[in-house]
C-alpha cells in the first residue's frame, strides 16, 4: 500500500541542514512511501483566531491544512533556536491544531527529528515539538527519533545524503514510519 507523508521543516534558511535532512528523506524513501516536502511555511501568518474564519483562512494556511489532511502522517524536521522549537514550526502546528479537536493532524502519526549545532542535536526543540503536536491532537510516535549534533561542522562540506551514517539513520526513520503506516492501513 502506498502511504503519504508530509514533511515540514522548521528552518527557512536556504542552506538549512534540516531542509537537507528532509531532502534526504524524500530521496531515500522506500517504494510505497511518498514524502512531500511542504513549501510555504514562511507565508503563513502567525495564528490568530480573528483570521481563522471559515471561507477566509489565509491561502498559505489553508494549503498547509489541505496537505496535512491528505497525508497519512507527518515528519517534522526541527533545528533548535535558543533551546526550543522555531516559531515557524510552532505556528504551523498551531494552524494544524484548529478547529480544536478536529484539526488536520488530529489522530495522525507524527515523527519529529532534526539536527542542530549543539552537542545534543536539538533534543530540546524536538521534545517541545512533540509536546506541541501531542496537545494539538497528533499521535506522536515516541519511539522513532533522530538527533544529529554538530550540524554546522558535520554538514559544512557534506550534504546529509552523502554522509553514510546519516543517510542510514534517515533511511531507518523513514522505513520505520512507513512500516508503522503499512501496519495501520492493513489493520483498518
pLDDT digit string (tens) for the chain, length 188 residues? 689 999 999 999 999 999 999 999 999 999 999 999 999 999 999 999 999 999 999 999 999 999 999 999 999 999 999 999 999 999 999 999 999 888 999 999 999 999 999 998 999 999 999 999 999 999 999 999 999 999 999 999 999 999 999 999 999 999 999 999 988 877 77
For the record, the C-alpha cell of 3 comes out as: 502511504
pLDDT at 1: 66
pLDDT at 81: 95
Give the domain ranges of the chain. 3-187
Terminal alpha carbon distance of the chain: 12
pLDDT at 159: 96
pLDDT at 106: 96
User: Regarding the domain with residue range 3-187, which homologous superfamily does it belong to in the CATH classification?
Assistant: Flavodoxin domain (3.40.50.360)
Amino acid at each position: 500500500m502506498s502511504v503519504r507523508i508530509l514533511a515540514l521543516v522548521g528552518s527557512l534558511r536556504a542552506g538549512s541542514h534540516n531542509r537537507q535532512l528532509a531532502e534526504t528523506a524524500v530521496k531515500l524513501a522506500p517504494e510505497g512511501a511518498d514524502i512531500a516536502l511542504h513549501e510555504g511555511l514562511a507565508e503563513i501568518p502567525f495564528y490568530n483566531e480573528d483570521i481563522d474564519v471559515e471561507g477566509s483562512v489565509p491561502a498559505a494556511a489553508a494549503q498547509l491544512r489541505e496537505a496535512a489532511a491528505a497525508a497519512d502522517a507527518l515528519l517534522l524536521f526541527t533545528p533548535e533556536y535558543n533551546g526550543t522549537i522555531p516559531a515557524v514550526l510552532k505556528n504551523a502546528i498551531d494552524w494544524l491544531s484548529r478547529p480544536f479537536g478536529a484539526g488536520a493532524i488530529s489522530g495522525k502519526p507524527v515523527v519529529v527529528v532534526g539536527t542542530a549545532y549543539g552537542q545534543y542535536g536539538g533534543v530540546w526543540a524536538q521534545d517541545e515539538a512533540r509536546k506541541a503536536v501531542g496537545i494539538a491532537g497528533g499521535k506522536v510516535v515516541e519511539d522513532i527519533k533522530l538527533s544529529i549534533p554538530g550540524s554546522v561542522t558535520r554538514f559544512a562540506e557534506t550534504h546529509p545524503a552523502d554522509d553514510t551514517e546519516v543517510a542510514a539513520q534517515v533511511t531507518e526513520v523513514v522505513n520505520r514510519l512507513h512500516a508503522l503506516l503499512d501496519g495501520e492501513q492493513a489493520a483498518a
